[in-house]
Amino acid sequence: MMYSLSSPPLVVMMVAFFAQGVVAQYPAGKTFKPGYCNVCRDAPNKDVAWRNLANPGESFTMNGEKWTCGYLQDTVQDVNPYAGGAPGEARWCGLAQHFAEQHCSCNGPSIPSLNDNVQQLNPACDLCQGQALNYVPQVNAGLTANTGVAGNMNCKGLYNAMSQGVLTSNLCPQVIANAGPKCCGVEKFTPNEFQNPDVVNQNNNVPQAPTCVSAAEVCKYNSDCCPGLQCKVKVWNGDKYCSTTSSRRGRKSIAGNNVGGAAGRSRSGGR
């Protein structure tokens, strides 16, 4: 079964620094790891039948980079969206499923589209006006956003309330500007973050990679190292490492009056 939705392009995904050539191994007859995220989503009775990628090699373009549906699945092969999963894992799986529905063909039991129950036509006050998506996707239904006029509200509930004319027309533009981008778009992410979903906070801010190399880590240039560190060779012909720039302190003699033992002797040859 192949989904064909007419919604506008998704917010682009950023490609991480590892190659797509690495392919995960899955049980015979499945294109996913049972008990973990399946980008094709679970069948109504996943113990009897399952949904698979019809063509893992099917490709699509995101942000100018070629992705395959099999690679999209590989990025979430160890993500647990069920009870007991780490915070954020269910959302990462939902994002991958959202992309798969847009770009990939799945076979197995038919299931409704993820967004069958969230899209409304011609709302009185459109939260998603001018946004990346013209509706609140299911993966964002549980998010909360700051309206700027009525505190934080659930994205799905806010969209529905606005579509029913709950807000006065003069408030609509302000709410759209404040809450629209979060509710009606899918944040950027990298496959590397799929592997570590618990590092994503509840505000969906993706942590930024360190911009400098810490002490005792491999480097090439001084500019690679964090402030206060220099890129130095530790072993001849070996790798360079970021190291502290402070030099050794000079030794201070403790010789003097009222000091006994060797410390009290003069270093000029006298006894």
Domain 210-246 listed as CATH 4.10.40: yes
Report whether pLDDT(4) > 60: no
pLDDT in tens, 37-95: 999 999 988 888 899 999 999 999 877 788 899 999 999 999 999 988 888 899 999 99
Neighbours of 245 (CB within 10 A): 12
Name the percent of the chain lying above pLDDT 70.
68
Dihedrals phi, psi of 163, to nearest 5 degrees: -65, -25
Tell me the domain boundaries of the chain: 210-246
Residues 6+ positions from 145 with CB-CB distance below 8 Å:
152, 153, 155, 158, 178, 179, 182, 183
Report whether pLDDT(10) > 80: no
**Cβ distance 35 to 80 under 8 Å?**
yes
**Cβ distance 23 to 74 under 8 Å?**
yes
**3-class SS at 176?**
helix
pLDDT in tens, 90-106: 999 999 999 999 999 99
Which of 73-87, 112-126, 252-266 comes out lowest in average pLDDT? Answer: 252-266
Which of 32-41, 153-162, 208-217 comes out lowest in average pLDDT? Answer: 208-217
Instruction: Specify the higher pLDDT residue, 270 or 86.
Output: 86
Instruction: Specify the higher pLDDT residue, 263 or 145.
Output: 145
pLDDT band at 243 (very low <50, low <70, confident <90, very high): confident
Q: Report d(CA 28, CA 72) in Å as an integer.
A: 19
Token pair belonging to 63: 């942000």
Instruction: Specify the higher pLDDT residue, 171 or 122.
Output: 171
pLDDT in tens, 139-177: 998 899 999 988 889 998 999 889 888 888 889 999 999
**Cβ distance 210 to 219 under 8 Å?**
no
CA distances from 36 to 68, 115, 180 (A): 19, 22, 31
The residue-averaged pLDDT of 233-253 equals 63
